Chains A and B, each alone.
Chain A
């Protein structure tokens, strides 16, 4: 089996050299750019002796490092947002130009009548060539993710948010998350190519399905996951709240003296007085930071599981409908 995989990898190399070189090149170049920029920024910070202040105020942000140098450092920069978008753009591009054509072009150009009449079946060929490609993409994406994560710490200092922030962009900017999205993108690219056996319609289908996955992940999967097993804490309107920066608030409610839940706040001017008057208690359900890490890992795991199932589905589809 390993001998065959090695042969498949060599076959993939001959046929798809462009992708095999292009995928890591794209990720590694981007990582290099981020690394270079990050080094420049950190050097600037150390020159102005801001490093120590920023680290010491890691929880509250660098705005308290109130020096003129710091003020000039905080210039509105589009880079953090660009990076946050580019994080997903690279997996999309890689899936689009390396993943979709892998099988779609094989059908479109008729080359499958050669490839799949040689010594290996379409299934083995697919797993043996596309499999290593996904692995390569995942590893390259993880390296890129590490560089992005390292780079983003400075943006968070600029932003006045802590490096420990759970904010969506920062969680996406971990090596694991980017690798997970890349694997899912490649899997969806494969499925599009196998189902729609022409390159351009498959590319469109790929973008649509990946977009749908991104949307579902942000609007449904994450809130659903975060609502699992939250910590509960009693708060007052002004104090005791868990940090809005490092935690995620799931739900807040009022509770009657008898323990009944009431959602929503009364429409009065002085809410805290009203609450004290009626002997209500104010509660918040939230995910502390150490929960969030695991939930994000779970989300990533779900993405990867979906990717694996997609790949298996593609292989199965190829088996029952080989060519015509």
Chain B
């Protein structure tokens, strides 16, 4: 079963399409990084998948069920960018309300985690720091024992130590429970260690959707002479090329560096930035690299 399947998914607000023609097939058990610039449509896509927004076009399923349906609700947990909580309640009351709204609810997990983080249950939710609120929201999302977790910039308000801790906790849940995670973030370097599937969203369209292994295994960062770039276009599939005086840096989809060029493995950050610089380039699963110029 796929964690996420979308066909031609689109969402229009008045006259602009926030998300358009999205075809996505994310297998279960993956940690998916959702990368893209501001306004690319990441939040809209996640809200559609969680059932908060109805799409204007196309279809989407999460774990085989329609978003917002009872089966989807039981299996999918989310944390929105705005960190929605009942800010006028105390933490204990917020947890109690969450327990009342959910049938499988791991109260022990929530209590343990909050006490480990030092968040008192008598504190008012609205008075907690941004990082603590994010931790609370994440704890509640996981206390529902989901099979798929959709997170919209969950680390934004966390300090470096807390980020490491949260990521570590999430990865342990993936290891132990087979949790699938979709994780949108600006900080791509952070996603590099944890992501096994990468989706790059740009101007509402999907540019890249593939496993990290296959992407890193099929791309190389080539360095060589700037005047050799034009010839290079005939030899390899170039995603993006940057020239600086005599040297050029090229992101290419190739297994080996052509003669005259030095190649090294790309980092995920270089890959994402490379594709974002070249909006016409897309990696379509099963069809390879497609560059429409």
Q: Give yes or no for direct A-B contact (beta carbon below 8 Å).
A: yes
How distant is the Cα of A116 from the Cα of B86 in the complex, in angstroms? Answer: 13
Indicate if the CB atoms of B53 and A118 lie closer than 8 Å: no
* Chain B positions 30 through 57: 1 when the CB is less than 8 Å from some CB of chain A, otherwise 0: 0000000000000000010011111000
Indicate if the CB atoms of B47 and A118 lie closer than 8 Å: no
How distant is the Cα of A115 from the Cα of B85 in the complex, in angstroms? Answer: 8
Shortest CB-to-CB span from B47 to chain A, Å, is 7
Give the bracket for the number of chain B residues in contact with chain A. Answer: 20 to 34
> For residue A115, which residues in chain B have a CB less than 8 angstroms away from its CB?
84, 101
How distant is the Cα of A113 from the Cα of B51 in the complex, in angstroms? Answer: 10
> For residue A7, which residues in chain B have a CB less than 8 angstroms away from its CB?
100-101, 103
B73 proximal to A (CB < 8 A)? yes
Indicate if the CB atoms of B144 and A119 lie closer than 8 Å: yes
How distant is the Cα of A119 from the Cα of B146 in the complex, in angstroms? Answer: 11
Tell whether A118 pairs with B52 under 8 Å between CB atoms, given A7-B100, A11-B101, A110-B82.
no
Residues of B at the A interface (CB closer than 8 Å) are 13, 47, 50-54, 68, 70, 73-74, 77-78, 80, 82, 84-87, 89, 93-94, 96-98, 100-103, 137, 144
How distant is the Cα of A323 from the Cα of B80 in the complex, in angstroms? Answer: 13
Indicate if the CB atoms of A111 and B86 lie closer than 8 Å: yes
Give the bracket for the number of chain A residues in contact with chain B. Answer: 20 to 34
Tell whether A8 pairs with B51 under 8 Å between CB atoms, given A15-B89, A113-B82, A322-B68.
no
Indicate if the CB atoms of B53 and A322 lie closer than 8 Å: yes
Most buried by B among A15, A112, A118: A118
Given contacts A118-B73, A323-B52, 9 further A-B contacts (CB under 8 A): A7-B100, A10-B96, A10-B100, A109-B87, A110-B82, A115-B101, A119-B74, A120-B101, A121-B70
Indicate if the CB atoms of A116 and B97 lie closer than 8 Å: no
Indicate if the CB atoms of B101 and A121 lie closer than 8 Å: no
Most buried by B among A110, A112, A320: A110
A117 proximal to B (CB < 8 A)? yes
Indicate if the CB atoms of A15 and B78 lie closer than 8 Å: no
> For residue B70, which residues in chain A have a CB less than 8 angstroms away from its CB?
121
Shortest CB-to-CB span from A171 to chain B, Å, is 41
Shortest CB-to-CB span from A278 to chain B, Å, is 73
> For residue B86, which residues in chain A have a CB less than 8 angstroms away from its CB?
14-15, 111, 114
How distant is the Cα of A118 from the Cα of B78 in the complex, in angstroms? Answer: 9
Most buried by B among A110, A113, A117: A117
Indicate if the CB atoms of A114 and B100 lie closer than 8 Å: no
Indicate if the CB atoms of B51 and A322 lie closer than 8 Å: yes
How distant is the Cα of A125 from the Cα of B78 in the complex, in angstroms? Answer: 18
Shortest CB-to-CB span from A1 to chain B, Å, is 12
Smallest Cβ-Cβ distance to B11: which chain A residue = A324
